[in-house]
Amino acid sequence: MLAIDQGTSATKAVVVAPDGTVLGLAEVPVNVHASPDGAVELQPEEMWASVVEAGRRALAAAGDPAIDAVGLANQGETVLAWDRATGRPQGPAMVWQDRRAGVVCDRMAAHAPRLAQLTGLELDPYFVAPKMAWLRGRVDPSLAITTTDTWLLHRLCGAFVTDVATAGRSLLLDLDRGQWSDEACALFGIDAGTLPRVVGNAELIGHTGVFGGSVPVTGACVDQQAALFAEGCHHAGEAKCTYGTGAFMLACTGDAPVRSSNGLVACAAWQVGDARTWCLDGQVYTVGAAVSWLIDMGVMDQPADLDRLGGGVADAAGVTFVPALSGLAAPWWRPNAKAAFTGLSLGTERGHLVRAAIDGIAAQVALLAQAAGRDLGSPLTMLRVDGGLTRSHTLVQTQADLLQCPVEVYPSPHATALGVAAFATIGAGGTLPTEQWRPSAVVEPAIGADEAMDRLERWQAVATATMDQ
């Protein structure tokens, strides 16, 4: 299988053997541009070129094997306008972090409860439909406006589709039926007939000649649900968190959707054949992005400083960091919230600032996990984690401390790609390896429940006090 993970800052491609072994790997960066007005954009043609280059380089690294199928994972809530006749994009893509559609959400605030009931999602510019509505008034009405997966799949094999997990990020999909909601579409002024066909995550979509020959495309999924599948969270109560540009905590709810009463969102996790699985989802918008910002500001030199500086001090010495550099997502849904450092003094050192950033990231994820436990009726007993920042022992230990449960570290940095490779395997008629993965580390809490609760309450008090500043 050739599995392509088209992410926010890079496109990764892996060639996966039938037993799950990674035979070849390539990664090509994608440039994302942010501006003070809330815009976060990328150039679609650069994104497409990265998909082609990463796929071909991964195949070359694997010795140019004949591949049985292709799978594509996408970054979810990023949208673009494009011409279906030519495939040409018009203008940049609006990345999921883009906040300009906040004006659409403000205008539609009265409809938020009904949209949550219909779609399982909060009315927030993070999701797809507000961006589509904002962009629709600024481009030629004949253009299609879709998530990036639809455009990339059209480029790959001529299809006009989106998978049910990606469609579930739109604020337009009926949570129970897994089909476009006419009512939700009407609220946003979107013609449901112009939207792509919703497909499962493991089925034939078309054939592509981009990587040599004619190869079936049989797997497609939004990135976080693909990682959830790869990490074996297939039953209600099993959860994972990916620490990438943002942090994304997903908890499986099994074969029935659970609408959150604690600030999370509910959506389809995947569909294989006629069987659909659902999940709860909570987001921290700036995690790896916060680390990059700290590097740009000169607080850190490289991600390894999370341990060298943040792990080099006993604690944050009273400093608190609220990493709301792109607003706050679940469970607050405050798109206009701003980041804040508090508790600074003449004795504050760089290590204290880095440690406060670690604490702020871990606190948000812990609060999301607590919310999932309340929605599910019992606390999470374990969290599986993946992503580049899980290389930081300080972060993973802090996460276990604040969660008050074990944290299992996924042994591969390619969870999303391996998940979509699994979908492509099933879609091509193959079978998955029976051997279960083993965590590269299991980190247990090193503090007691009372101390963990005290730290979470102190962080949340600061976040509440600063989110409207």
Whether 425 is in a domain gets the answer: no
| Owning domain of residue 8 | 2-231
Question: Which residue shows structure tokens 């299991």?
Answer: 442
Report whether 32 contacts 8 (CB < 8 A): yes
Query: 372 and 311: one domain?
Result: yes
Query: 208 and 81: one domain?
Result: yes
Total number of domains in the chain: 2
Please tell me the predicted confidence (pLDDT) of residue 327: 87
Q: What sign for the dihedral angle of Cα 69, 75, 79, 80?
A: negative
Query: 150 and 227: one domain?
Result: yes
Query: 326 and 450: one domain?
Result: yes
Whether 459 is in a domain gets the answer: yes
* Closest by CA position to 382, among listed 356, 360, 403, 365: 403
Query: 177 and 296: one domain?
Result: no
- Domain endpoint, select from 213, 231, 249: 231
Whether 461 is in a domain gets the answer: yes
- Pairing mode, strands 275-284 and 407-409: unpaired
Please tell me the predicted confidence (pLDDT) of residue 435: 77
Query: 224 and 289: one domain?
Result: no
Whether 245 is in a domain gets the answer: no
Whether 321 is in a domain gets the answer: yes
Whether 260 is in a domain gets the answer: no
Please tell me the predicted confidence (pLDDT) of residue 335: 83
Please tell me the predicted confidence (pLDDT) of residue 469: 60
Query: 220 and 320: one domain?
Result: no
pTM of the full predicted structure? 0.93
Whether 277 is in a domain gets the answer: no
* Closest by CA position to 184, among listed 235, 121, 97, 93: 121
**CATH label of the domain that carries residue 379:** 3.30.420.40
* Closest by CA position to 329, among listed 224, 170, 467: 467
Query: 294 and 178: one domain?
Result: no
CA angle at residue 436 from 430 to 439, to 5 degrees? 135
Provide the residue-wise pLDDT of the chain in tens; the chain has 469 residues: 999 999 998 999 999 999 889 999 999 999 999 999 999 999 999 999 999 999 999 999 999 999 999 999 999 999 999 999 999 999 999 999 999 999 999 999 999 999 999 999 999 999 999 999 999 989 999 999 999 999 999 999 999 999 999 999 999 999 999 999 999 999 999 999 999 999 999 999 999 999 999 999 999 999 999 999 999 999 999 999 999 888 999 999 999 999 999 999 999 999 999 999 999 999 998 899 999 999 999 999 999 999 999 999 999 999 999 999 988 988 998 888 889 999 999 999 999 999 999 999 999 999 999 999 999 999 999 999 999 899 999 999 999 999 999 999 999 989 999 999 999 999 999 999 877 899 999 999 999 999 999 999 999 999 998 887 6
Whether 238 is in a domain gets the answer: no
Which residue type is seen at 9?
Answer: S
- Domain endpoint, select from 231, 247, 269: 231
User: In terms of DSSP H, where are the helices of 414-448?
Assistant: 415-427
Query: 192 and 335: one domain?
Result: no
Query: 208 and 323: one domain?
Result: no
Report whether 161 contacts 197 (CB < 8 A): yes
- Domain endpoint, select from 187, 206, 231: 231
Residue by residue, DSSP assigns 65-102 as ---S-EEEEE-SS-EEEE-TTT--EEEEEE-TT--TTH
Query: 226 and 304: one domain?
Result: no
User: How far is residue 118's CA from residue 372's CA, in Å, rounded to a whole number?
Assistant: 20
Report whether 250 contacts 269 (CB < 8 A): yes
Query: 213 and 357: one domain?
Result: no
| Residues ≥6 apart with Cβ < 8 Å to 83 | 89, 90, 142, 143, 144
